[in-house]
Chain A
């Protein structure tokens, strides 16, 4: 089946196929890219799934519209998508701030310990809570670097800053995360000695 043959194709090749009217390419690309975009948007938006889906839908739609003009080698599709998603999320966060400044969740630090030895999902939730406490750009840089696997030059492209500035942002972000999560160390299965 054609889908099997397409599974090995690069994102760029699939987007070109889509632009040429191939009906299968969109399905493969969506399966490949949309969950990553959704996960990333969800992280930036503080875990709001519904809003993250809106952002994902908009980002993917922009990708499809971009397909006929896409030039090979110009940019990686994943980098392009992260840029669009970052901008869409930033816009929404700004609107959210202007509407209700009290809606920001308090850091989860200090919550009572629920169970001994939390499972991975709880760690992921704790991480999300800690990420929510970071300044926006630190959150973006840390999420891209440590969760999405983007390189520093790619993050520099996405945020339109220098590589040195990216390194500084991620370093400060990591330190703030370590601080935020330290209070839950015992709860999350790390003894405090």
Chain B
């Protein structure tokens, strides 16, 4: 017998079937779940692949960094050049400033200009020492 429109299920009846279908969610077996997770692990990008690589630095760069970088190195270079220059040029001003101690060519004359007492405090004078000896 051919079906007519009245033979059809109405929406509510059909919905009952859909509801039954929606409730029928298959459970994954343990072995199938394990297979899925194994696939996932196999193709998963590794975390370290995204971490920025630490570039190996040459020894001299490491040394400069330890000293304090290029500014510190420039300061040291300036001091070195200044030292060499002072050594060669022996400027008169330095002799004046140091009172002839540092750069006097004739070191014997230093004794004639300055006595030891000139560098020692007066209260620590030789008189005291002589009295003790006596």
Contacts and interface: CB of A to CB of B under 8 A. Distances in A.
Interface residues of B, number: 36
23 contacts: A18-B40, A18-B44, A20-B47, A21-B46, A21-B50, A27-B37, A31-B33, A42-B26, A57-B32, A67-B44, A120-B23, A121-B20, A124-B21, A127-B17, A127-B20, A149-B22, A174-B14, A177-B17, A178-B13, A182-B3, A182-B7, A190-B9, A190-B13
B58 to A, nearest CB: 31
Contact of A124 (B8, B14, B24, B33): B24
A21 B49 contact: yes
Interface in B50-102: 50
B16 interface: yes
B21 A147 contact: yes
A181 B20 CA distance: 14
A128 interface: yes
B113 interface: no
Nearest to A174: B14
B47 A21 contact: yes
Given A18-B44, A34-B36, A181-B14, A124 B3 contact: no
A135 interface: no
Interface string A42-61: 11000001001100110011
B43 A57 contact: no
A39 B37 contact: no
Interface residues of A, number: 50
Interface string A31-42: 100111011001
Contacts of B26: 35, 38-39, 42, 49, 52
A65 B9 contact: no
Contacts of A149: 22
Given A146-B18, A147-B18, A182-B9, A64 B44 contact: yes
A98 B125 CA distance: 123
Nearest to A190: B13
Nearest to A61: B39
Contact of B36 (A21, A30, A39, A183): A30
B130 interface: no
A57 B14 contact: no
